Structure 1
Amino acid sequence: MNKKPNPFLEKGIKKSKFLNEDKSMTIKGTYNKAFILLLLLTISFMFSWNKIDSLSQTMIDDSAGLRFILIIGVTISIVLAFTTIFRPKVSPITSPIYAITEGVLLGIASKFTDLSYPGIVLPAVLLTIAMAISSLVIYKSIGPINKKIVTGIIIATVGILILNLFSLILSLAFGIKIPLYKGGIIGIIFSLLVIVIAALNLIVDLDSINELAYYGAPKYMEWYSAFGVLVTLVWLYLEILDLIQKLKEN
């Protein structure tokens, strides 16, 4: 049974076209779609990981070629992500392609990180799974989230994204690295904070799924919501991987 979500959304959603759809999304259907996307990501992750293993050292050292592949992959991933965000109706098509592309990129990035810090990837994967399960259990226990809390989480998330962008610009343009992104105690504390916010975003995703299903959102929103969960899990994994890397450096 769906828990009744925050009533403030009800008025706006009732006026939308959601209720005119013949088929509505369900929580179970969304979780199934999320599982499919995670499976696609895992398969493509393992493929690219093993592909790097099979390359000769000369090819691995060819940074220009790998950089080109990564640039193309990142570009495709960004285009697919924004297309999905702004055109949810195409999410049944774009979400699986995004999952495959993201899996390839994560596999390459994770393999090279593992070459520098052997054994770093498996703990990151296991911790991501553990935090995902914990987030699900917590949400099932507390139910719908207060909208003020959701707003606070969103503001914190946007703040982190802006800070990441600012840090990237400083790094590329001036070669400056903000202490928050270094391996010292400040960087470790910052990573822990970001991981907590990423985990809270996962709880917000689950809350959103519950609300959309309760109000009868169209069936394609299952893919859209599953895409959101996938993006959050990828972010969580990358932040955990970064934290473990900082800890190893110390």
Structure 2
Amino acid sequence: MFMSVFGLRTSNPAFNRYFWKKPNYFSKAKMSIGGILLKSLLILSLVVLTASYTWHLFFSGVNTKWHTAVGMFVAIICSLFISFKHSAAKYLLPIYSLAKGFFLGGISAIAHQRFPNLPFQAIGVTIVTFFVMFLLYKWKLIRVTKEFRTIIITATASIFIFYFIGWILWFLNIDVPYLWGTSWFAIGFNVVAAIVASFSLLLDFYYIDKQVGRYPKEREWIATWGLLITLIWLYVEVLRLLKKLTIRF
């Protein structure tokens, strides 16, 4: 319901009807898997660059609180601009990636300080999940039907609402155990969020698959942005889940 209000057809904002509407200009060069792959590798390299830098600063004794907070803020601003002006994706996506790297580097360094190697485990789980989801989609072991899309979209919207409410309560200094705690309910919520994030990759693969060869090559930047959003969401959920399980057990 929440997503339908905004006319979204997928759990990822980069792959809604607004972005995939018919372009009003002609271009011989079309979207390709190779183009999306190259752009994804470039963008992920930028994320790793600033994440590594923030990580280094943290363990050098520098307070990276502002790096993390400003990185998150800039990434949100870039996402909003890309959402309303998709032609700006090729200019803003590198900035978004660098900013997101600062954010991820900050939270990962904190996690590693308290739980050594936890971020590396989360990265490994994220990479494995990506390839498993890709193979499941490629081999059609899971079919992305209309009903499947509806379930994932509804679940994603519900999780977003829960997080939004949780963040508001957190700013008001009200404890939100179902999000930040280590109770079985909190762990269960995190498990569900991680599963939904994983299945969101299938929706991303589906919409990219439907548009490759049809839309202008410039749209590859939007496709790359969409995949990056889901991968980062998945990594954060896995990191939080592993952290909770480590504390619990």
Category of TM-score, reference length = shorter chain: 0.7 to 0.9
> How many positions carry a matched residue from both structures?
230
Q: Is the CA contact 1:88–1:220 (under 8 Å) kept in the aligned structure 2? A: no
Given that residues 144 and 207 in structure 1 are in contact (C-alpha distance below 8 angstroms), is that contact kept between their aligned partners in structure 2?
no
**SS of equivalent to 2:30:** coil
Task: Return the offset for 1:19.
Answer: 7.4
Q: Percent identical across equivalent pairs?
A: 25
Q: Does 1:36 align with 2:35?
A: no
Paired position in structure 1 for 2:23: 17
Which protein, 1 or 2, shows the higher relative CO under an 8 Å CA cutoff with sep ≥ 6?
A: 1
Q: Distance in 1 between matches of 2:82 and 2:103?
A: 18
Q: Secondary structure at the match of 2:144?
A: coil
**1:68 maps to which residue?**
66
Structure 2 residue corresponding to 1:53, chosen from 54, 59, 76: 59
- Contact map agreement 2:178 2:189 (CA 8 A) in 1: no
Q: Name stretches of at least 5 consecutive residues in structure 1 with no aligned partner.
A: 1-11, 61-65
Distance in structure 2 (CA, Å) of the matches to 1:15 and 1:249: 46
TM-score normalized by structure 2? 0.85
AA at the equivalent of 2:155: A
Question: Which residue is equivalent to 2:217?
Answer: 219
Asked if 1:150 is matched to 2:168, the reply is no
Q: CA RMSD in A?
A: 2.2
Distance change in 2, residues 1:155/1:19 (3 Å): farther
Distance 2:124 2:65 in 1: 28
Say if 1:18 and 1:127 are closer, same or farther in 2 by CA, change over 3 A: farther
Larger Rg: 1
| 1:194-236 superposed Cα distances (whole Å, 9 cap, x missing partner) | 111001111111111111114x111111011111101110000
Q: How does 1:123-202 map to 2 (within 5 A)?
A: 123-142=121-140, 145-202=144-201
Corresponding residue to 2:103 among 102, 105, 122 = 105
If each structure's helix is expressed as a fraction of its own residues, which one has the higher value?
Answer: 1
SS in 2 for 1:20: coil
Moved over 6 A (4+): 12-15
